[in-house]
Amino acid sequence: MDLHDIAARLGVPVEDVERVHRLAGDSPSAPLPARADAPALLDRLAVRPDDADEIMAGWPDAESPLWTPELRWLLDRTIALVRADLGGYVWLPPGPELPRDRGPAWRHLYVYAYLALVDVVRAYHRDHGVPDGVSWVTLADLGRNLAIDRRMRREGWPVIQSWLTLHVRGAVYELGRLQHHRGDGAIGLHVPDSGPLTPDAVSASLDEARTFFARHFPDEPYTAFSCGSWLLDPQLREYLPEDSNIIRFQRRFELEPYVESDGPDADVEVRRFVFRTLSTPFDQLPRRTALQRAIVDHLAAGRHWQWRQGRFPI
pLDDT one-digit tens code per residue, 237-258: 999 999 999 999 999 999 999 9
Q: Residues 275, 278, 279, 283: is their CA dihedral positive or negative?
A: positive
pTM here is: 0.95
Q: What is the pLDDT of residues 80-129, one digit of tens each?
A: 999 999 999 999 999 999 998 999 999 999 999 999 999 999 999 999 99
The residues, any chain, with a CB within 8 Å of residue 113's CB and separated by 6 or more, are 75, 78, 79, 82, 94
SS3 111: helix
**Distance from the Cα of residue 130 to its chain's centroid:** 20
Angstrom distance (rounded) from CA 228 to CA 232: 7
Stretch 182-194: mean pLDDT: 96
Is the pLDDT at 65 greater than 90? The verdict is yes
Angstrom distance (rounded) from CA 297 to CA 164: 32
Q: What is the pLDDT of residues 150-169, one digit of tens each?
A: 999 988 888 999 999 999 99
Q: What is the DSSP letter of 154?
A: T
